[in-house]
């Protein structure tokens, strides 16, 4: 993993490239495939140089992608992985053969992507430009397979420009409803658009979500059930076992029959990730993921529990509170260092009746946490990234750049 460039000039060039990319966030969420399609063509068609796998879903898509990366690499394939958002460093978004893209490569390729876009009269969003950067970097690295984690929805997400050899939907729940629609049916239609006719299409959905997917797509798809032959996974919880089973099924669809032990090579920070001092970090950021986290907490020995919680302003906080607050012996609310965040004071009414302290930053909350309890930081990927940077001694925000980019 590359945490920083080495020479001062490289750092400067990398930070300048990030500044250019983050500036594109002013164009917002451009959910339209016209620009990314034209950008990919203008870049020379890099998607044609490798096989693509497309993974969408409300929760679990990043973990499933990371499990699949571990399985395919164990089988000897050179794998590209595209995910979002990043926790600490932008470079986490693009992995090549298990390593984060090097800052020097980002610094070299961002001007290329933006210059090509300008010469073709294209104005990509931050996500579209980052996706174009990844598509080009994977081609230059001559990877065999690229795993694309859908950014938002599916139908109009830039990742859906590829023609995947296999697609998967991990779950369907209520999140990003202001963009994707107010109910499971609407959200399932957006996500099921990553399925392709005559190709392997898989899902780990169950219950109402599975029914919603079935109604949303005309294409055949397979349902992946949990498996009882998995090892003790590095990412704990029943929800991660479902994600792992889906990853193995996707590998099988690619003709890779890897043993379940290949899952042990997964690396995916911020998912029930444990640090010294009995500190856990988890990116649960909506009611469904909070319920999955709560299920794991109830099964484990993480007691007594101190909860450090922060969230974005557009999230369904009440559902997360209902899942997690009853399990906590004490709670500190914090304000993430992110433009779209809710403040600790704004979160406080949702925690009425619970043992709550309205705090400041996550760094202060970690410093002042009760030493006789397990501590869980959760509520937002952006909050977890801030906490993880502090725990690992990395600068935050990277290059001193605050952004609204997802």
Class of domain 273-400 (CATH, top level)? alpha beta
CA 60 to chain centre: 8
CA-CA distance, 361 to 348, in Å (whole number)?
15
pLDDT digits (tens, 9 = 90+) for 245-280: 999 999 999 999 889 999 999 999 999 999 999 999
Domain made up of 8-265: CATH architecture: 3-Layer(aba) Sandwich (3.40)
- pLDDT tens per residue across span 336-359: 999 999 999 999 999 999 999 999
Are the CB atoms for 169 and 212 separated by under 8 Å?
A: no
Per-residue pLDDT reduced to its tens digit, 67-120: 999 999 999 999 999 999 999 999 999 999 999 999 999 999 999 999 999 999
DSSP state of 156: T
Of 297, 294, 271, which is closest to residue 373 (Cα–Cα)? 297
- Asked if the model's pLDDT at residue 2 lies above 70, the reply is no
Site of tokens 């935050």: 396
Distance of CA 238 to the CA centre of its chain: 18
For residue 30, the model assigns a pLDDT of 73
Output the pLDDT for position 300: 82
Tell me which DSSP letter residue 258 carries: -
Share of the chain above pLDDT 70, in %: 97
Q: Do domains 8-265 and 273-400 have the same CATH topology?
A: no
299-334 pLDDT tens trace? 988 999 999 999 999 899 999 999 999 999 999 999
Q: How many angstroms separate the CA atoms of 270 and 62, rounded?
A: 11
- HSE of 234 in the Cβ direction (CA atoms, 13 Å)? 17
Q: What residue spans define the domains of the chain?
A: 8-265, 273-400
Please indicate whether residue 11 or residue 138 has the higher confidence score (pLDDT).
Answer: 138
- The percentage of the chain sitting over the pLDDT mark of 90, rounded to a whole number, equals 90
Query: In the predicted model, is pLDDT for residue 184 greater than 70?
Result: yes
The mean pLDDT value for 122-149 works out to: 98
């Amino acid at each position: 993993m590359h945490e920083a460039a080495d020479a001062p000039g490289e750092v400067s060039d990398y930070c300048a490239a990030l500044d250019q990319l983050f500036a594109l966030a002013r164009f917002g969420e451009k959910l339209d495939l016209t620009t990314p399609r034209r950008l990919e063509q203008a870049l020379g068609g890099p998607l044609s140089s490798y096989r693509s796998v497309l993974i969408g879903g409300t929760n679990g898509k990043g973990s499933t992608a990371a499990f699949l990366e571990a399985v395919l690499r164990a089988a000897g394939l050179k794998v590209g992985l595209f995910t979002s958002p990043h926790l600490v460093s932008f470079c986490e978004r693009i992995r090549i053969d298990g390593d984060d893209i090097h800052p020097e490569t980002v610094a070299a390729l961002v001007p290329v992507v933006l210059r090509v876009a300008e010469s073709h009269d294209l104005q990509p969003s931050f996500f579209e430009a980052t996706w174009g950067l990844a598509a080009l970097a994977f081609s230059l690295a001559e990877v065999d397979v690229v795993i694309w984690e859908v950014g938002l929805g599916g139908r109009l997400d830039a990742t859906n420009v590829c023609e995947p050899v296999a697609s998967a939907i991990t779950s369907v729940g209520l999140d990003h409803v202001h963009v994707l629609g107010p109910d499971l049916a609407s959200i399932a239609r957006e996500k099921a658009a990553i399925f392709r006719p005559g190709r392997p299409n898989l899902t780990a959905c169950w219950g109402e979500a599975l029914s919603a997917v079935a109604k949303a797509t005309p294409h055949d798809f397979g349902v992946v059930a949990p498996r009882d032959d998995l090892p003790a996974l590095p990412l704990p919880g029943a929800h991660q076992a479902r994600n792992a089973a889906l990853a193995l099924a996707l590998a099988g669809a690619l003709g890779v029959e890897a043993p379940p032990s290949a899952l042990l090579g997964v690396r995916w920070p911020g998912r029930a990730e444990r640090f010294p001092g009995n500190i856990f970090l988890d990116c649960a950021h909506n009611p469904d993921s909070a319920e999955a986290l709560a299920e794991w907490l109830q099964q484990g020995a993480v007691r007594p529990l101190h909860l450090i919680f922060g969230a974005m302003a557009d999230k369904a906080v009440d559902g997360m509170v209902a899942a997690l607050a009853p399990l906590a012996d004490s709670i500190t609310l914090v304000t993430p260092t992110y433009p779209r965040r809710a403040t600790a004071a704004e979160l406080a009414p949702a925690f009425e009746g619970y043992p709550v302290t309205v705090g400041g930053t996550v760094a202060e909350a970690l410093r002042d946490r009760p030493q006789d309890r397990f501590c869980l930081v959760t509520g937002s990927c952006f909050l977890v990234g801030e906490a993880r940077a502090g725990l690992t001694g990395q600068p935050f925000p990277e290059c001193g750049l605050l952004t609204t980019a997802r």
